[in-house]
Amino acid sequence: MLLVTCSVQATASGLRFENAGTYLDDGVYYLDAFARIEIGEEPERALMSGVELHFLIELIVHKKRRWWIDTPVLERRLRHKLYFYELTRHYRVDDLQTGKSSNFRSLSAAVRYLGQINRYALIEAAKIKTSRRYVASINVSLDATRLPAPLAARAMVSRQWNLQSEVFKWSLN
């Protein structure tokens, strides 16, 4: 098993990856990552008022090229939805790819769960040439296009709604 990890902190608007890394197991590169998510007062008030917050995690693996533009060999978007149930006073995180839902009693527990990626099958090792260098990158953002129209317009100009991490990169192999 090969493990490659990086743990540099990159901060931007309340979202930051604290670590991300890949490891090879049974012919597949798997991803483990953790992003610290702090949504801020205004988005939290909207969440408590029934607004769903959609988060987008973008994963890219590039083949590094010496004299030319790097070539993407994998691009994936993982979508999650966070919302609050007033009647039962709990938060829910939906993984929109798998349909899996998880419930939480506190917002801090819900966003901690939202920021964790464990053993995500990223790419088959057969698609990676060992003679080449590959770089993986990940970032997370609040998908403002999924907000209700009045909030979407506000999100375009408000720093509280501009939730996006910096791109976090590490060597895949």
Among 142, 36, 38, 34, CA closest to 81? 142
Residue 48 pLDDT > 90 = yes
Both tokens of 69, joined, read: 């533009």
Angle ∠(91,109,166) on CA atoms, nearest 5: 105
Residue 59: pLDDT band with limits 50, 70, 90: very high
pLDDT tens profile 133-159:
999 999 999 999 999 988 888 888 888
H or E element in which residue 30 lies? strand 28-37
Tokens 């083949």 sit on residue: 63
Q: Give pLDDT, residue 23.
A: 94
Residue 6: pLDDT band with limits 50, 70, 90: very low
